[in-house]
Chains A and B, each alone.
Chain A
Amino acid sequence: MKRIYMLAALLALLFTAAPAEKAPAPAAKKVAPVSVSTASYQAKRIKDKKTGKVITKWVRAKRVVPGTVVRYIDTVTNRTDKLLKNVAIKNPINPHLTYVAQTAKCATGCRIYYSVDGGKHFDVPEKLFVKDLKTGKRRPANPKEYNAIQWVIDEVPAESNTTVEFKAKLK
């Protein structure tokens, strides 16, 4: 009889203890204090419902064929309470794309540099040179030969975001 009571007590302990133990809450997604995201867009001509005029709107790049110009927008977010200075964004250009000259820009003040060696070295256009495949001689790089871009954003204020962008054409 004593053994039966002990078993019942043990079971009771088990069943009462289980609900008391709370399931572990899902780990909160860690939000980076500073982050960058990128998105691609393509131009679409649509009819404005109000004016009836055909306008060009940038929509997410989904129907892309050779010759399509893709607009990439990189968004930099500063979630800290401090002003960030000289924030650098590097964006390689996919080898299937050709950079469209003079389309790299930024929403706020920045300096823009380019690379012709896959991002190992960035510089201003005047200082970028390539070896001409036909002549074998060194010559200034053509914007179509850029294969990476770097933006150095002067300032990203606390708790804010800013964007940089460029356009490239699908080969």
Chain B
Amino acid sequence: MKRLMMIAAAMLLGSSGAWALGTTAGTRIDNNATLSYSAGGVAQPDVNATIDDHGSADSFVVDKKIDMILITDDTSDLAVVPGQTEAVRNFTFKNEGNADQNFSFMAGNVDGGTADYSGGGTDDEEVEHITKITWTGDGNCTGDASGGSKTESQIPFLLEVDENCKLTFVVESTIPTRGEGGVDGKVMVIELNATAMKDATTKESNTSGADDDENVDVVLADGVSGTTLESDVTENNTATDTASDGVEKARSGYVIETPELTVEKTSCVYDDPVNSTNNPKRIPGARIMYVIDIDNNGTADATDVNITDDIADQLLYDTIAHATDPDTGSGKVTVAENVDSCGCTDGQKQNDGTDFDNTGSGTELKVEGIDIASGKHTCVSFTVEIK
């Protein structure tokens, strides 16, 4: 009874594997024909077609079709910042051939390439490192294919992938720092590729020459449009694959989005003890308005920007700690959209709409918590008195 159940289970397993994505390599396909006729009105015994050594009138062995699909699951470049680690890109791979197969997996940067999805940028910078590749297999995967990970020094790596096994890959990269070239707008495209391997060092190739119908030959069938039988993975790469070369590729990318801040400091005289506000001059006792214009030319918003300014000795220290808003005289630093008198206009008004405190001490002026959206600038102003 136990044996019967085992046989039944084996048949069930066998059938599900065999029919998943095609008849398993090595399967013998027989064909028989039977002829019936009458002679002189008398039915004659049935005639079977001539039987060969394999008990069939005609038979052949199913060859090995190496077919796989590798795509990126991403739909746009991932926005990253300089120096970011573990920046993740996602891929799906499936062995769509009719046999278990060894594949070598490799990931790297693609100079000048573009990702497989539309709207991706053109590679003009390299990721600093591809630090890790992690994979998870579905229910059709066994052994090493069921899950694992490899670090930078272990890439490329070989994996035996079961017939019909689907793997999801996560590739982690380190983005170059600003000093390494990781500046705003740079695009890094990476490629994951899978190569069908005969063994650890030999790539699979088509069996050359005449076929032997008693042996399992190799037919490379990857990347041929329209040959996917029942795949639940839809091809989405455009120009990266070559048909029937035993290699599948997929590309995804990163784009650096970071604030790019520039600071410009200007000053204008606000009034002096002699002329008051009528054409004031920079004489002792004059009040000077300093304006720090902070420009964000990057593609990302800047938040919590801090300004620190060490005020010159010649300026009245006492007033520094009480840098005042010339309009309100409230003793605060103004961060505003306009400081017309010093020509800083159309800046970004801060969210809270209030002045910022000078949190510095001594000769230092310090303003914290300024937000500047991408493509915007803002005006920081304060007033001091010349000794």
Contact = CB atoms under 8 A, between A and B. Distances in A.
B29 interface: yes
Contacts of A86: 37-38
CB-based closest 7 A-B pairs: A66-B22, A65-B65, A62-B211, A36-B35, A62-B213, A88-B36, A63-B211
B58 interface: yes
A90 to B, nearest CB: 5
A34 B64 CA distance: 38
Interface string B11-36: 00000001101110101011111111
A171 interface: yes
Of the four ranges (under 10, 10 to 19, 20 to 34, 35 or more), the interface on chain A belongs to 35 or more
B49 interface: yes
Interface in A113-128: none
Main secondary structure of the interface of B (DSSP, over half): loop
B44 interface: yes
30 contacts: A32-B47, A34-B37, A35-B50, A36-B47, A37-B33, A38-B32, A38-B33, A38-B49, A38-B58, A40-B60, A60-B213, A61-B213, A62-B213, A64-B29, A64-B62, A65-B98, A65-B221, A66-B62, A66-B65, A67-B221, A72-B58, A80-B39, A82-B39, A86-B37, A86-B38, A88-B36, A91-B31, A170-B22, A170-B62, A171-B22
Nearest to A39: B58
Contacts of A63: 63, 207, 211, 217, 219
Nearest to B40: A82
A60 B37 CA distance: 28
B35 A89 contact: yes
A70 B229 CA distance: 17
Contacts of B227: 67
Interface residues of B, number: 42
Contacts, number: 119
Interface of B: 18-19, 21-23, 25, 27, 29-40, 44, 47-50, 57-58, 60, 62-65, 98, 207, 210-213, 217, 219, 221, 227, 229
A97 interface: yes
Nearest to A73: B58
A26 B304 CA distance: 104
A94 interface: yes
B35 A94 contact: no
A90 B46 CA distance: 10
Contacts of B34: 36, 89-91
A66 B33 contact: no
